Structure 1
């Protein structure tokens, strides 16, 4: 089944709140080789004006993944995980993610483009804190192969 063109403009419900834990930030920082002390040491983060450790910029993927799971679970999407390649990722921050943040994401599909027998699916996950304030918008482009006919 090809990617459903009616996905464009679809907005998904907010994800369950995700509580950003200090150890999760530290683990993620180690995994991506983010060695700045603000990612591991609360005192170093506090010296820079933050309440706790600061997540590396790509940590937003943890919350964005919850939103993308909604898209992949849509029965009418035409997107099968075995045919998906994650092609592009961008982040637009209002402020950093800090341990202790409770984040919720809302995904919207912003574009589809056919290219070489594949479909590029662009989506934006708007991630907000518990007060409803914008933290980051994570934009992904997935390339979906059309598969067997």
Structure 2
């Protein structure tokens, strides 16, 4: 009987002194690479899986020509879509870069989550849209979704 009581005491102590549960960690925000094929190569837009309301949104644009050259991003803007159609939220000032085959180029775009009148915008899915031009003068529109929560 004493052995049974001692065994029960050991089991109770072991159950109460277990290791604490692991600390919760925030889900990491991973990078998404969104490729677009252009006549002489591809353009990659690197975005986060989501952005927080009020944060500056930073995106990387990579121009990767396989022949000739590419120049962009040109005429960059952010738009929102809804039941009443699509509306331009913000025109972005960018300094385009050029890339030639064998020498890709990258550049960063930033959006301060404000519209063209300077007012902050809220949670929504937005589209980043811009154009790239190849050495033959062909323009390709590139777009990427920005999830803001």
Whether the TM-score (by the shorter chain) exceeds 0.5 is no
Q: Which has the higher strand share?
A: 2
Q: Which has the higher helix share?
A: 1
Structure number with higher relative contact order (C-alpha < 8 Å, ≥ 6 residues apart):
1
What TM-score does the superposition give when structure 2 sets the normalisation length? 0.29
Tell which structure's C-alpha radius of gyration is larger. Answer: 2
What TM-score does the superposition give when structure 1 sets the normalisation length? 0.29
